[in-house]
Structure 1
Amino acid sequence: MSARDSLEPDRSLWDLIAVELRRQREERKISGTRLGIVLGCDRSTVSRYESGTLRLPEKHAKILDREWRLDLLFTRLVHFAKAGKNEDWFTGLTEYEAHATRLKMWEVLLVPGLLQTPEYARAALSAGLVEDVELELQKRMSRQQAVFERPKPPQISVVLNWVTLAQTLGDAEVMRGQFTKLLELSELPYVNVRILEESAGAHVGMDGCFQLLTVNDRDIAYAEAPQMGRLIRDPRDVQHIAVRYDRVGEVATPVGPSRTLIKRALERYR
């Protein structure tokens, strides 16, 4: 699948800009080479704008609006796309998880939401600023069902910071249930869980949690934030997250010994 074929204009403003640019150019029967001359760039740059692999800069948006008399159409689209907290309009992480063929997760403090028991999730949500804990819990469990209960679940790779095994949420029963589930999940053929031990020292994952998702043969990233997470679709930024994940994985404990570490954590709550 080409980059152009993977564009989703109903979900992403940047994808809409790319699709609309091509539509407007073809409607005027202007070649990519000719448009490049108008914008002061080469044909390959125009092609990258239209495929979504390069974002249309504001200076070129203004030129397009002036030359094609579009009443600031591209200028406004670029402005809103740059200002948006989340690049997707009607969908978000949940829908991407439900359709992903591969998920990679790095977690600093807690067991990831997709791997949580209801009791552990409730304890985590209760410790935050969530207004309706039960509603958010229901959403989290629905996310899990969409991933694990479909006919062909995705390949899931998880790296957990050692703190996730040391941090207690709720009581001993909650922790027993969570670590038991973590072990059960780690034994599924499509799931692997690794632990980054304290002895690993400083590493590139210390500045926050993130996910990598492969959806329709396209990689997307999701970065956690205190108030609201952020979906990342720009190929260069996604590549940056992928490199961070690989770097964290390189110093993580292998799958087998990681199971032993989880079992030891479970024993503390017997």
Structure 2
Amino acid sequence: MGREREIDPRVSAIAQYGYRLRHYRKKANLSQDALGARFGVTGQMIGHIETAKRPTTPEMSKGFDDLFGLDAYFEELWWHVRREQTPSWFRDYVAAEARAASIRLFDPLLIPGLLQTEAYAREVLRAGQPDDKLEQLVAARLARQEILEREEPPWLVFVISEFALRRVVGDPDVMREQYARLLELAERPNITIHVLPDTAPVYPSGALTLFSFNEVPDLGYAEAVRGHGVLIEHRKSIEGLKVEFDLIRSAALSAAASADLIRSLMEGT
């Protein structure tokens, strides 16, 4: 094996994470392969984490703390890594997403990030990104999906345009895997997926999201130029978004008919 690349832990949170992981791994006299085997990943993946090419997960971070006898060090550092990798304009959205008791979302152009496979997300995020940065962006997007696996996950209602479903991202293999993922998620009791057909008599101009919480008022989000947007707190504006979402959902296919359409697209790829 070649000499391990040194990184400067001062340049970023993800560099600090990788530097300290290497330190504690070597202190425990573990190889990258041996550490990876404890967490069901390859030694190469551990190497990518140690060289700041890939972030890890909250579960793995807690596992590192348990293994090395640390008091939530990696678990807390993971949150700094996640925040660092989220564009500043999107951080409030991600924070709301993580706290919401229910989420209603419509996207006219793409399959929503919470539902994307790794391969689909990589193709969506690829344009103009160097490989290292691309992998960090993909991992950050997939980390948001942690809310789907919680013991008490939020209630989720998605309306996806037929255009977004038929739009080929990557290649047929990527789409086939993505369709299968949608069908698997649609079977979960807390997730409902509708498809807005191309013939629907509604013409929404952009993506929108509604966040509801247990003890605080709802928030809205309307996408603007190049995917940028702002959280909306004004009650009247949020009510307007709710009306728009209800109109879109009312024109969409039923959950069962939507699953049938997704299945037919998967079988046709």
Task: Establish whether TM, by shorter chain, passes 0.5.
Answer: yes
Aligned partners of 1:133, 1:163: CA distance in 2, in Å? Answer: 25
Aligned partners of 2:90, 2:117: CA distance in 1, in Å? Answer: 28
Q: Which position in structure 1 is the counterpart of 2:238?
A: 238
Q: What's the offset of the Cα at 1:204?
A: 4.2
The answer as to 2:186 corresponding to 1:200 is: no
Q: What's the offset of the Cα at 1:152?
A: 0.6
The residue type paired with residue 211 of structure 2 is L
The residue type paired with residue 117 of structure 2 is T
Q: Which position in structure 1 is the counterpart of 2:98?
A: 98
Kindly name which structure, 1 or 2, has the bigger radius of gyration based on alpha carbons: 1
Aligned partners of 1:123, 1:112: CA distance in 2, in Å? Answer: 13
Q: Secondary structure at the match of 1:169?
A: coil
Q: Which position in structure 2 is the counterpart of 1:218?
A: 217
Aligned partners of 1:196, 1:189: CA distance in 2, in Å? Answer: 21
Uncovered stretches (5+) of structure 1, i.e. residues with no partner: 1-87
The answer as to 2:132 corresponding to 1:134 is: no
Cα-to-partner distance string for 1:146-194 (whole Å, 9 max, x where unaligned): x112221010001111101210011111111100000000010000101
Q: Which position in structure 2 is the counterpart of 1:68?
A: none
Q: What's the offset of the Cα at 1:91?
A: 4.9
Mapping of 1:175-186 within 5 angstroms? 175-186=175-186
Aligned partners of 1:90, 1:166: CA distance in 2, in Å? Answer: 27
The runs of 4+ residues in structure 1 deviating greater than 3 Å are: 88-91
The answer as to 2:141 corresponding to 1:143 is: no
The 1:135–1:254 alpha-carbon spacing in structure 2 relative to 1, beyond 3 Å, is same
Uncovered stretches (5+) of structure 2, i.e. residues with no partner: 1-87
Question: How many percent of aligned residue pairs carry the same amino acid?
Answer: 33
Q: TM-score, normalization: structure 2?
A: 0.63
The 1:182–1:89 alpha-carbon spacing in structure 2 relative to 1, beyond 3 Å, is closer
The residue type paired with residue 141 of structure 1 is L
Aligned partners of 1:89, 1:115: CA distance in 2, in Å? Answer: 21
Residues 204 and 244 of structure 1 are in contact (CA less than 8 Å); yes or no, is this contact kept in structure 2?
A: no
Q: TM-score, normalization: structure 1?
A: 0.62
Aligned partners of 2:139, 2:229: CA distance in 1, in Å? Answer: 19
Cα-to-partner distance string for 1:191-242 (whole Å, 9 max, x where unaligned): 01011111214x142x000110112342111111234221111111111111
Q: What's the offset of the Cα at 1:135?
A: 1.6
The 1:91–1:173 alpha-carbon spacing in structure 2 relative to 1, beyond 3 Å, is closer
Mapping of 1:56-75 within 5 angstroms? none
Residues 160 and 195 of structure 1 are in contact (CA less than 8 Å); yes or no, is this contact kept in structure 2?
A: yes
